[in-house]
């Protein structure tokens, strides 16, 4: 019984970590699209910054999944 509870708490921790990363990636994408709409000439620079921001947000999911268990 104790092993099942331990597995469930690890899964919940990973799920919340991935949820936070998904929200972060969504916010970065939303703001990048908004920035390109305001200044289309800077779309290349905005794309680079957006990709870096999304990669950093996704790192949180990997930390939650692999280091949390």
Q: What is the pLDDT along the chain (69 residues), one digit of tens a residue?
A: 767 776 677 678 888 888 999 999 999 999 999 999 999 999 999 999 999 999 998 888 888 888 765
Orientation angle between helical segments 2-38 and 43-62, nearest 10 degrees:
170
The reported pLDDT for the residue numbered 1 is 72
The residues spanned by each domain of the chain are 22-69
Query: Which CA distances in Å does 68 have to 3, 9, 19?
Result: 16, 10, 14
Cite the DSSP H helix spans in 1-69.
Answer: 2-38, 43-62
Rounded Cα–Cα distance for residues 58 and 31 (Å): 16
The reported pLDDT for the residue numbered 45 is 94
Residue 58's contacts (CB-CB under 8 Å, 6 or more residues apart) are: 21, 25
The reported pLDDT for the residue numbered 7 is 67
The reported pLDDT for the residue numbered 34 is 96
The reported pLDDT for the residue numbered 49 is 94
């Amino acid at each position: 019984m104790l092993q099942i509870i331990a597995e469930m708490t690890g899964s919940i921790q990973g799920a919340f970590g991935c949820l936070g990363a998904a929200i972060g990636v969504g916010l970065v994408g939303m703001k990048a699209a908004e920035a390109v709409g305001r200044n289309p000439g800077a779309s290349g620079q905005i794309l680079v910054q957006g990709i870096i921001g999304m990669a950093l947000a996704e790192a949180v999911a990997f930390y939650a999944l692999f280091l949390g268990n």
